[in-house]
């Protein structure tokens, strides 16, 4: 480095100063974005912008957005502008604005703002991530796979996994405290692996290869984090360098399994009532199509959707079950009511928990709904503005490409909508009371056209998992459980130290 003055040390110093100045000027200019548009914003800092939880997590992103929601509401503001590094992020906190984004003016906010590199990583081009017309096409193709009639067909499969879990627990020594989340993750991994990949995974006594993949997805490396930050903040640059971000091990595993199972079923004329079959039924013989076009689906699309059903379906449901069981252990009067309901419904249906019987477990459903309020597995929703949008009753224009965050956890703990919000009170969701819940203040499954497509399946498997535990065991909070509960920094709400319960067999 002897190009400027001939003194290498001085030149290096000069280069460093120039680089730092350029960097600071670039940031300062980017940070003027919300000021120039008249949107209130908290002072951002270099390099992370307004959010500290990306690389130096002190709390989860869900908690950080909830805190921002609270502060913004306390100031009487309708919205706030943030920065993720230098990229602007718009956060509406006024429920009318939330409604506008999710429902009324949805056509301005069809996309999720999730990085997709369809060419190099087709497995990432799934329903959760893609936007625009391709999303519309895929959504309408897959909606029939989630009807009540389809759920009823899959019901038996989930019940079989419930039976397998029951047998596994019967064999276990449950004198010691039980890490409830672990058991329920095994349960949902098995149900989704069976329904979305057509595999027999009901054996709880042997390691399940899907569990290994689930672990790899959670245990991200530094490289994964850096790729994630580039993809989130600089998607155009990421596309230019053809960045891929799903670990190769995961891609290969899911692709191999789906392709093998589809081929096996096609060659042997096997028809099974599951998600995979719904997709095989949609598959044309035309080979590879342009993604999302036409009426049939390609093998790559099937792989991508099976993958997302696994990612979006297993941990969300396992988390819901775990927190419901924790709250029922903590609130024994609610637990007794749930068990009493089991007895009444089983009496009505000759001792068999049929699909119809399960749907009549209304108090259990109230408990699940209240759990989803207190611990929404997806603590914030994302959208991307797809064309300039003027915020009603203001001069503010949200520009195409700007990302939006809806702080779900913030809304769920807002005392204006849910009084005594810390309290676990399933009666908020009784037939009479749930009418009073304002649209878009309760969003565990999202809202509008991008509402969770797997909601029915999620609720069904959550009810079944809880049924199989509570019918056999009385549960209480273990002394091993760290109280009061503190959440970790994970995206999905998890308790620090785990959720530990004591099990007592019901004779």
Which of 81, 113, 313, 493 is in the footprint of ligand HEM by CB under 6 A?
313
3-state secondary structure of 210: helix
Both structure tokens of 64? 């950080």
Which residues are known binding-site members?
Answer: 452
- Residue 241 C-beta: closest distance to ligand HEM, Å: 26
Torsion sign across C-alpha atoms 315, 320, 321, 322? positive
Distance from C-alpha of 79 to C-alpha of 143, rounded to nearest angstrom: 33
Told to check if 309 binds ligand HEM by CB under 6 A, we report: yes
Paired with 259 in beta bridges are none
Q: What is the DSSP string of 297-312?
A: B-HHHHHHHHHHHHHH
Which of 116, 302, 308, 481 is in the footprint of ligand HEM by CB under 6 A?
308
CB atoms within 10 A of CB 415: 10
- Residue 119 C-beta: closest distance to ligand HEM, Å: 21
Nearest to 25 by CA among 86, 92, 69: 86
**Which range in 72-80, 164-172, 254-262, 446-454 contacts ligand HEM by CB under 6 A?**
446-454
* CB distance 306 to 197 below 8 Å: yes
Told to check if 17 binds ligand HEM by CB under 6 A, we report: no
Told to check if 439 binds ligand HEM by CB under 6 A, we report: no
Distance from C-alpha of 297 to C-alpha of 288, rounded to nearest angstrom: 8
Told to check if 447 binds ligand HEM by CB under 6 A, we report: yes
Nearest to 403 by CA among 62, 67, 63, 109: 109
Nearest to 366 by CA among 422, 429, 444: 429
Site string for ligand HEM, 93-132 (x = CB under 6 A): ----------------------------------xx----
- Residue 187 C-beta: closest distance to ligand HEM, Å: 12
Cβ proximity to ligand HEM: between 184 and 470 the closer is: 184
Which of 451, 483, 496, 504 is in the footprint of ligand HEM by CB under 6 A?
451
Told to check if 139 binds ligand HEM by CB under 6 A, we report: yes
Told to check if 460 binds ligand HEM by CB under 6 A, we report: no
- Residue 273 C-beta: closest distance to ligand HEM, Å: 14
Cβ proximity to ligand HEM: between 31 and 445 the closer is: 445
Site string for ligand HEM, 23-62 (x = CB under 6 A): ----------------------------------------
Buried b / exposed e over 280-315, threshold 16 CB at 10 Å, is bebeeeeeeeebbeeeebbbbbbbbbbbbbbbbbbb
* CB distance 396 to 38 below 8 Å: yes
Cβ proximity to ligand HEM: between 33 and 98 the closer is: 98
- Residue 84 C-beta: closest distance to ligand HEM, Å: 18
Q: Is 411 exposed, middle or buried (0-12, 13-18, 19+ CB in 10 A)?
A: buried
Q: Give the footprint of ligand HEM on this chain (CB under 6 A).
A: 127-128, 139, 308-309, 312-313, 316-317, 320, 377-378, 381, 444-447, 450-454, 457-458, 462
């Amino acid at each position: 480095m002897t190009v400027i003055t001939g003194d290498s040390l001085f030149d290096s110093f000069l280069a460093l100063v120039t680089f730092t100045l350029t960097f600071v000027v670039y940031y300062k200019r980017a940070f003027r974005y919300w000021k120039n548009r008249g949107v209130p914003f908290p002072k951002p800092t270099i390099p992370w912008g307004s959010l500290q939880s990306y690389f130096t997590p002190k709390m989860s992103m869900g908690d950080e957005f909830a805190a921002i929601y609270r502060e913004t509401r306390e100031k009487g503001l309708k919205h706030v502008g943030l920065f993720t590094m230098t990229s602007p992020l718009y956060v509406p906190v006024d429920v009318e604005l939330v409604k506008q984004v999710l429902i009324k003016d949805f056509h301005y906010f069809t996309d999720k703002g999730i990085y997709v590199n369809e060419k190099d990583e087709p497995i990432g081009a799934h329903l959760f991530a893609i936007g625009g017309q391709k999303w519309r096409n895929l959504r309408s193709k897959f909606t029939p796979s989630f009807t009540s009639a389809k759920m009823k067909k899959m019901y038996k499969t989930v019940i079989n996994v419930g039976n397998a879990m029951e047998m596994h627990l019967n064999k276990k020594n449950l004198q010691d405290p039980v890490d409830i989340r672990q058991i329920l993750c095994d349960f949902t991994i098995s149900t989704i692996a069976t329904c979305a990949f057509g595999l027999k995974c009901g054996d709880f006594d042997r390691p399940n290869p899907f569990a290994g993949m689930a672990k790899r997805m959670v245990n991200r490396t530094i490289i994964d984090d850096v790729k994630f930050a580039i993809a989130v903040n600089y998607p155009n640059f990421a596309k230019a360098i053809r960045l891929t971000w799903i670990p190769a091990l995961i891609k290969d595993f899911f692709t191999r399994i789906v392709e093998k199972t589809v081929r096996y079923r096609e060659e042997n004329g096997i028809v099974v009532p599951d998600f995979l079959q719904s997709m095989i039924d949609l598959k044309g013989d035309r080979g590879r199509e342009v993604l999302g076009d036409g009426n049939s689906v390609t093998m790559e699309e099937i792989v991508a959707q099976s993958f997302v059903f696994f990612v979006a379906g297993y941990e969300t449901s396992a988390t819901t079950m775990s927190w419901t069981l924790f709250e029922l252990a903590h609130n024994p009067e609610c637990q007794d009511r749930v068990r009493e309901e089991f007895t009444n419904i089983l009496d009505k249906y000759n001792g068999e928990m049929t699909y119809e019987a399960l749907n009549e477990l209304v108090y259990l459903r109230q408990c699940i709904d209240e759990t989803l309020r207190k611990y929404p597995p997806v603590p914030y929703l994302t959208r991307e503005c797809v064309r300039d949008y003027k915020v009603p009753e203001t001069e503010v224009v949200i520009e195409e490409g700007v990302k939006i965050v809806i702080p779900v956890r913030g809304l769920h703990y807002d005392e204006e909508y849910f009084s005594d919000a810390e309290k676990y009170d399933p009666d908020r969701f009784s037939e009479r009371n749930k009418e009073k819940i304002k649209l878009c203040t309760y969003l565990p499954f999202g809202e509008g056209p991008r509402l969770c497509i797997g909601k029915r399946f999620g609720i069904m498997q959550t009810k079944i998992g809880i049924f199989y535990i509570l019918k056999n065991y009385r549960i209480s909070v273990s002394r091993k459980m760290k109280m009061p509960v503190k959440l970790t920094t994970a995206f999905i709400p998890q308790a620090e130290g785990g959720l530990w319960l004591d099990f007592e067999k019901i004779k």
